[in-house]
Amino acid sequence: MKKRLFVATMVSLPSEEISFIKREIISLGIEGKWVEENNLHFTYRFLGDVSVLFIPQIEREFKEKISLIEKRKVELKGIGVFPDVKTARVLWVGVEGDLTDIKSAVDELLEPFGFEKERRVFKPHVTLMRIKKLRHRTKFSYFLSKMREKKFLSMEVKQVSLIESVLTSKGPLYKPLKVVDLR
């Protein structure tokens, strides 16, 4: 048996900020699936399907390595898209702050379980929406440029979680398997 896992920090964006973004996006005729407010997070590593036999060992290593890392402040700032405005599929809020030691610790603790270090550049972000239909690219591009420096929230990263993602017809359900406090 396997569980679909990822490592992340959960985020609570102010409801008024989310409402503002939703109003703007809807006014631009953009359609898609919004991430539920209680599921907002930034991901350090997506593991995919992991055998339940490895999970207790991963949890032990996770607690041991992550608990040594210090808390830090980050800022949720700016709105962007992946991969680009022309073919936007994901709408996100950026995460600014130094999270490289957390990312490195996660990658290192997973290596003995067969997870190679990721080669792509780590760009922490909070996914807000999976875009299905994009209209008015010029207006959307202008909106993104206006929002590039918008500050949404300053927060302290206090915890990192190993989370199970259970896919349902209504969207994913996230179940924290191990939540580790930073020191």
User: Please, what are the domains in the chain?
Assistant: 2-181 (3.90.1140.10)
- Report pLDDT for 136: 86
Per-residue pLDDT at 171: 86
Residue 98 CB contacts under 8 Å (≥ 6 apart), including other chains? 72
Note the pLDDT of residue 170. 86
Predicted pLDDT of residue 11:
97
A 10 A CB-CB count for 59 gives 14
Low-confidence residues of the chain: pLDDT under 50: none
Q: Are 175 and 162 in contact (CB under 8 A)?
A: no
Instruction: Give the pLDDT confidence of 79-129 residue by residue, as tens digits.
Output: 999 999 999 999 999 999 999 999 999 999 999 999 998 988 999 999 999
Distance in angstroms between the alpha carbons of the first and the last residue of the chain: 34
Rounded Cα distance, 25 and 137, in Å = 12
Q: Which residues are catalytic?
A: 41, 125
